[in-house]
Amino acid sequence: MIIGIPKEIKTNEHRIGMTPAGVKELILNGHEVLVQKDGGASIGFFDADYSGAGARIVDTPEEIFATADMIIKVKEPQLPECKLLRPNQILFTYLHLAPDPAQAEALIASGATCIAYETVTQASGGLPLLAPMSEVAGRLSITAGAHHMQMLYGGSGMLLGGVPGVEPAKVLIIGGGVVGINAAKMALGLGAQVTLVDRSIDRLRQLDDIFNGRVRTLFSTADT
């Protein structure tokens, strides 16, 4: 199979979603890989790194879409990219179609087989490709919140961990899933007082064990 890895165009960055090590794994499994020129520049990899891993460097996304059997991306395709897809081609990326009917219609019209990372499901019911993004989102939520608590950015000037003589901030996390548990880990690590609310008493018991009582857990009701 010929696998194409174009640049992401939504972010206006020279960025792709695969390292040379990932390319090498694909090639060792018998695939041919095309990588767009300068695609890895903003993540610290250069064309020589990808060609050294066995990829063929091409100049334009049009060449990749016209040649590859499968397109691998990270961000959802933009409408100009959807027009480059063709019947029997495979697109493998995050799609997030629910809020984007224009993209959904364009993908249907392309005739391509489009597989969303966020829908790939393990036999156990887990979502192995969505989980890492949720882990990132949970941890970033706390650092973003701490950033905006600074007075320079409109906050009250409170530090999450407090200082001697001043109590730490109180952080409320709604939901004890992958995002919530990673947000709790980050907030605890910064010294905050953390309360986590969930609708599942079984999940709250698990979280109480995981955090050894350091997180206050509350069962979600109409009053909480």
Q: Is 191 exposed, middle or buried (0-12, 13-18, 19+ CB in 10 A)?
A: middle
- Other C-beta atoms closer than 10 Å to the C-beta of 97 total 16
Residues in the chain where the model's pLDDT stays below 70:
10-15
How confident is the model at residue 222, as a pLDDT?
84
pLDDT digits (tens, 9 = 90+) for 160-201: 999 999 999 999 999 999 999 999 999 999 999 999 999 999
* Helix (H), strand (E) at residue 171: strand 170-174
Instruction: Give the whole-angstrom CA distance, residue 75 versus residue 9.
Output: 9
Cβ–Cβ < 8 Å for 48, 56 = no
pTM of the entire structure? 0.80
> Taking CA 139 as the corner, what is the angle to CA 14 and CA 201, rounded to the nearest 5 degrees?
140
What domains does the chain contain, in order, with CATH numbers? 2-119 (3.40.50.720), 131-219 (3.40.50.720)
Assigned token pair, 219: 């069962």
Q: If you ran DSSP here, which 8-state letter would residue 76 be given?
A: P
